[in-house]
Structure 1
Amino acid sequence: MTSFAASPRRTTAKLPILGAVCLAALAMPFSFTAPALALQAIEHTLGGTPLALVWVTNAFMLGFGSCLMAFGALADRCGRKRVFLAGTLAFALASLCATRASSVVWLDWLRAAQGIAGAAALSAGAAALAQEFDGHERTRAFSLLGTTFGVGLACGPLVAGWLIEHFGWRSVFVGTAVLTTLAVSAGTRYMRETRDPAALGFDWLGAATFTAALALFTCAVLDAPSNGWDSARVITLLAASSVFAAAFVIVEGRVRQPMLDLSLFRYARFVGVQFLAAAPAYSYVVLLVLLPVRFVGIEGHDTVTAGRMMFALSAPMLVVPLVAGWLARRMSAGVVAGAGLLICAIGQLWLAQCAPGQSSSALYAAMATIGCGIGLPWGLMDGLAVSVVPKERAGMAAGIFNTTRVAGEGVALAVVAALLAGLVAAQLHGFAQGAVLREAAGRLAMGDLAGALSNLPQANRASLVAGYGEAFRVLLRALACVTVLSAATVFGFLGRTPDHAPIEADAEPAPQASRIEARMQ
């Protein structure tokens, strides 16, 4: 096997490697957005409770977000090509198995397997790109990787809607299997093996405690709408999550080669990049799941129409990230990203005024505003993330950044789903109480209007749609507030620092941080 110090190659020889990683990356946003459109079809075929249906999306995000750091570190130690190929192949196999799922529970487990495999593919692939490209070439390569995500988000709903309408919901998993199989073929032929020669071992205990903390927290938040926040089950899950989170911090502070180097959080720009990575979760990503559920389940559109409607939200991702790169050459990336989040908040407040069934022109304009706003930070995040750690720790860097982004998205989905169910329950409290109300609210929040009506026979369709619309309006206003706070944080950490400036510690660095600085020289 070649070591980290493998000989450089011409740019033309590196392009197939970039293509392989981008193909794998394209499957990730498609796997995220497509099941949201297919949720009603999945329920019709497989049935399932509201909680089980929520896990169709959250299982993927949980598996993806909880394993990115672990696979980033594992790729540095065992070889980036090896981990990339194993991840993409496992993703393709899990996707094919999902087409044969006979129950929602089995589909949930397969979605978790997809997420874990996707984490291996993305973190190892990003680490491999960091070894192949340097300087401006690396920035362009990671910008293209980010643009690939944008293409997947923009075109995913359109493609998924067409596939579901003509071939059924199982066809979306066939599509992801095809993409990742092509990535395996290209990676096998063109990618070379690289690893970090300083990597001595794998932080198994850190990986286990982090995954346990994130999984338990997600379970608690998703269980809260049906069991209540004060239930013994939810309280126990939250307490256990806190214990594992504390254990993770202790482990990472003591292990010789941690999965997450805590000393990096002494650097203001590194912290700022992590806040930036998490910002799109509440401002944009949750809408990729909530809006298709609303369009199909509440407003009664077919999947093709819903996919076309979602294009208004995601189409700006095809262009705006390129504009962001142009702007970042003339002003601070933090200013560009923060301004984009403020634009996004304006779009959220605009969308809050669009009740279900009203004029589509205002709806499309509000969605396009959100897409334009989020496209500015989206085009800069990956390039910024790579610039804040030494090259030989690229696997860890990719893992930390993408873990913050994806884990933040998973937590955001769980929190927002619980919040929407609670807001819907508050609107429907006049029709029922207790477990019946929670069941009806959960079904309505997931777009199951017929199921909610069966639980609330005294209600009618118009009253349930109106209650859902009011709950959705309040939710969007809350998300806009979170987005504004995120913009202020990004301005504070990244707005005044030139993008080319070296990392400066806020305090005297720890010995481990000093070693990192030495490697960066």
Structure 2
Amino acid sequence: MSISGTAVALPGIGADTHAGLAPLQWVVNAFNVAFACFTLVWGSVADIVGRARAFAAGAGVYAVASLGGALATDVLWLDATRALAGTGGAAIFSCGAAIVATVFDGPGRAKAFALFGTVAGVGVAAGPSLAGALVQGLGWRWMFAAHAVALLLVLLAVPATARAVPDDGGSGARVDVPGSALFVVAMVLLTTAIVQGSQWGWAAPGVLGLFAGAVVVLAVFAAVENRREHPMLDLGLLRDRRFVGLCLVPVAASFGFVTMLTYLPTYLTAATGRDSGAAGLIMLLLTAPVLVCPLLAAKLVARGVPALTLVHVSLACLVVGDLTLTLFSPGVTILVVALPMLVTGAGMGLCAGLVDGQALELIDPARAGMAAGFLNTLRLGSEAIAVAVYGSVLATVLRTRVEDGIGGYAGAARADRVADRAAGGDVAGATELAGAVDTDGFARFLAQSYDHAFHSVLCAMAAVCAVLCAVIATLLRDGSARNAAA
């Protein structure tokens, strides 16, 4: 719900806090970036201090941060609490996968990871609808309060979890503080560059400097990790092409599914005029398959269907689904786009859980935390980057469209601020801010401009997903061939 539902609340948060586009985007991005930055860190820490302890610490941090978000008085406070929540969420996701990999093996592990994916699917499926209902009925603060309540229930289950994990005292090695710090800095620089690209200009010295800084810090990180006795990331994991290929599957899902999960609710409110509750209900078409497909995939594997075949089918669904989602338009009926939404959701659902189990089977159990951390770092890191790229490029395309067309409406001005407000989903506020004489006509112009930007970015995301699918297919084929030869 924290990942999929927050976007539904953005228009309400923006109207309540009078936030600009960049701070408003960080309500989503702060969580995703922190999640991405600390997933690998927590995976490594879990192998050292114990997975149940690390899991409990993350749940506690997440609960406190969610309560702070519910009490936030301005958008910067909210951004800070969202970053803290992402830090705790990274521990839950990374350590949770490592705990499942440690407790179960054989067919039991496949079933456990299928359930792991299904439960995640419950959150993804219910997130937009529940968030929309809470925002519309009680206000956006209650959405974050609901997160805090959920995490309190998680904390109550920690003692049982700790008892179930065998030999969870940790390895006793020291935490890789230099490597952890370098990785976090690199991710923050990279994502900040992407988010600010639409604000400062993609060729601005500040943006180029952030990108260059991220590359330099990542190079230093790799050099440091090669020299550490107990590195946060053993780069030897990357020599297994099949493991790398499986880890890239969630990256494709980030561009093909998570971007839609995050920004389609805003499109439904900004371009089609629906309210938050209606947008949340429509999102069930996208998220419901994520609830059903993980267990379906597990059953198919149990009946002899190769797991890699299902992985390839899921990737194909992502590409086809994204391309057919271009059928969306301000006046389209939901029946026209229902099938594309279901196909896109199936692309995510078929690989959820299945990829985790397949990837961790290739790794020594002693390094399960690190491997799960790396897998989920790519998953959450790519989500943060994909969402940031989508939001930033959409804002850039929309600003260009508004600047080109605003002169045709008498009295309309402040194109930059109007475009930023519209990109955040508040078309009514953007229309009022513009001051156009023909308010109805200008509102239609903004909706059409948002629709144009949405389609442009959607096609770009589908292209990125298609390229990733080709790379993954090559890695998995080469990895299978090498395993067979061995």
Q: What TM-score do you get using the length of structure 2 for normalisation?
A: 0.92
| Bigger Cα displacement from structure 2, 274-283 vs 440-449 | 440-449
What residue is the counterpart of 2:410 in the other structure?
none
Out of 46, 58, 62, the position equivalent to 1:75 is 46
| Alpha-carbon distance in structure 2 between the residues aligned to 1:420 and 1:127 | 36
Matches within 5 A, 1:95-110: 95-110=66-81
May I ask how many residue pairs the two structures share in their alignment?
474
Native 8 Å contact 2:395 2:420 kept in 1:
yes
Shift of 1:456: 4.0
What residue is the counterpart of 2:355 in the other structure?
381
Alignment pair present for 1:232 and 2:232: no
- One-letter code aligned to 1:400: F
| Alpha-carbon distance in structure 2 between the residues aligned to 1:470 and 1:417 | 14
- State, as a whole percentage, how many aligned pairs show the same letter: 36
What residue is the counterpart of 1:182 in the other structure?
153
What residue is the counterpart of 1:307 in the other structure?
280
Matches within 5 A, 1:82-481: 82-192=53-163, 194-195=167-168, 198-329=171-302, 330-431=304-405, 436-454=414-432, 456-458=434-436, 460-481=442-463
What residue is the counterpart of 2:19 in the other structure?
48
Q: Deviations over 1:154-173 (max 9, x none)?
A: 11112112222222111111
Shift of 1:299: 2.3
| Alpha-carbon distance in structure 2 between the residues aligned to 1:104 and 1:54 | 10
What residue is the counterpart of 1:512 in the other structure?
none
Q: What TM-score do you get using the length of structure 1 for normalisation?
A: 0.86
With over 3 angstroms needed to count, the CA separation of the structure-2 counterparts of 1:504 and 1:168, relative to structure 1, is farther
| Bigger Cα displacement from structure 2, 342-351 vs 241-250 | 342-351
- One-letter code aligned to 1:146: G
Out of 35, 38, 42, the position equivalent to 2:9 is 38
What residue is the counterpart of 1:516 in the other structure?
none
Shift of 1:222: 0.8
With over 3 angstroms needed to count, the CA separation of the structure-2 counterparts of 1:332 and 1:196, relative to structure 1, is farther
| Bigger Cα displacement from structure 2, 162-171 vs 92-101 | 162-171
Residue 431 of structure 1 aligns to a residue in which SS?
Answer: helix
| Bigger Cα displacement from structure 2, 316-325 vs 200-209 | 316-325
Shift of 1:72: 1.0
Native 8 Å contact 2:197 2:392 kept in 1:
yes
**RMSD between aligned residues:** 2.2
Q: Deviations over 1:354-412 (max 9, x none)?
A: 21232221122221121122222224112122212110111111111111100010011
With over 3 angstroms needed to count, the CA separation of the structure-2 counterparts of 1:56 and 1:126, relative to structure 1, is same
Shift of 1:503: 9.7
| Alpha-carbon distance in structure 2 between the residues aligned to 1:166 and 1:395 | 40
With over 3 angstroms needed to count, the CA separation of the structure-2 counterparts of 1:78 and 1:163, relative to structure 1, is same
- One-letter code aligned to 1:490: I
| Alpha-carbon distance in structure 2 between the residues aligned to 1:290 and 1:366 | 16
Shift of 1:293: 0.9
Q: Deviations over 1:404-458 (max 9, x none)?
A: 100010011111111111221232232369x954433332222121343345445
